Amino acid sequence: MMIISKKALPRRTFLKGLQATLALPLLDAMIPAATAQARTPARPVRRLGFVYIPMGCDHARWTPASEGTLGDLSPILAPLEPVKKQLTVITNLRLEKSYPGTHDTANAGFLSAAFAKHTESSDYYLGTTVDQVAAKQIGRDTQLPSLELAMDLNPGAGVCNNGYACVYQNCLSWSSPTTPLPAEAHPRIVFERLFGDGGPASARRAALRSRGSLLDSFNDDIARLKRRVGVTDRVRVDQYLDSIREVERQIERAEARTAENPVADLERPVGVPAAFADHAKLLFDLQVLAFQADITRIVTFQLTRELNNRTYPEIGVPDPHHPTSHHGNDPQKLLKISKINTFHVSLFAYFLEKLKSTPDGDGSLLDNTVYLYGSGLGNSSIHDHENLPILVAGGAASGMRGGRHIRYKNGTPLANLHLTLLDRVGVHVDSFGDSNGKIEDLFVPVSI
């Protein structure tokens, strides 16, 4: 069933098939029907995302050589060259409430700027995270208020490290101080969350198997829709559908290859791509689709987990990440950490370039989306939470001034950045965590 109006397509036009719903991207044909609350080229939807990397960075190869305008990017940040003009590197932000320094409190404090109660039991207590503060306001009108993703399996209950419950290490997002939100690592499950239409998971999977592709049940409606819209919209619809098909094919290939690999990876769910980069790119692709169809406006993505012992032989680092991160200033270990950092940044760069190439209103998804990328540890060798590796990307429509490296006073709270980002996506609160102000020079004045 396709829901459209006679005069113009409503912003919430969607196609409804067997056990599936297909939301559509913003089309020119929807603009005449827009209301003051709808997205239009003049009033685009604001989106906010967060990507977490564990165990800090090699600061010497991360930090740009000079302040102000970004010239040559540092070795680790070099993959971001194509999006440099929409990138701000921020130095000297701190997580005061993550002390005493641990991997668990680094992860827990990154989006909460709050103390993690020291407990091994289920009486854990943290704070509402910045993404969920935003979701309570700008997530009200979307199918999913927020989307939580990860690369690793969530071990759930129990104690993981230093007497802290595993929940602190595995959940970036908390909707209240006592309600952690588990992240999903399996692309198939994420895909079904985005495009499923309720009912049991078994019914959705049976429907997918019977038709071969999500899009097969929408062929007639898609044809009718394309007859209703102009050439530009037809191109936009085709690009969107091609992206969905490609994501489906990647998921199917990964699931098909599971039987071919007799060696289980205990940190990865069965049926995900075998290569780390392929898995990460697929989850980034799903974020693009979620934003493109306005299924959600808030995303958190834990690229890898604190204390993980993943190896990266594909980039010349066969050593486990966690032991290597305790480098003790050993040049060889620092070089390996920098290779891991660069690899992770390259995956983020892939995502940002996809956002940049995806139209949205008068600009791109990157123009209308702000992403914070970083870690809750600075120097993981000594477990400190100083001089965190932090990037902010996108947000041109929100007034973000990209192409810069900003060095703040030592000890500036990361919460100041969170408060600023909330403000720039239209969520106005007086304070957040241990904030003591806003980072005013990150943006130019724009009415939100």
Q: How confident is the model at residue 5 (pLDDT cuts 50, 70, 90)?
A: very low
**Model pLDDT, residue 20:** 78
Least confident segment among 17-21, 74-78, 312-316, 333-337? 17-21
Does residue 201 carry a pLDDT above 60? no
- For residue 373, which of 244, 287, 279 has the smallest C-alpha distance? 287
In order of 62, 191, 239, 280, 313, the CA distances from 257 in angstroms are 36, 18, 27, 17, 20
CA dihedral sign, ordered 50, 392, 26, 232: negative
**Considering the chain, what percentage of its residues have pLDDT values greater than 70?**
85
The 8-class DSSP code of residue 446 comes to -
The third-level CATH classification (topology) of the domain covering 46-185+275-442 is: Alkaline Phosphatase, subunit A (3.40.720)
Residue 112 neighbours by CB under 8 Å, 6+ apart:
126, 127, 128, 129, 130, 174, 433
Give the confidence band of 260 by pLDDT, cuts at 50, 70, 90. Answer: low
User: In the predicted model, what is the mean pLDDT of residues 330-336?
Assistant: 97
40: tokens are 């239009």
The confidence score (pLDDT) of residue 34 equals 45
Q: Is pLDDT above 80 for 208?
A: no
- In terms of Cα–Cα distance, which of 287, 293, 279 is closest to 12? 293
What is residue 22's three-state secondary structure?
Answer: strand
Find where tokens 């012992």 sit: 309
Q: If we measure between CA atoms, which residue out of 196, 203, 195, 205 comes closest to residue 244?
A: 195
Instruction: Give the model confidence (pLDDT) of 370-413 as tens digits.
Output: 999 999 999 999 999 999 999 999 999 888 889 999 999 899 99
pLDDT of the residue at 38:
47
- Domain limits, the chain: 1-43+190-271, 46-185+275-442
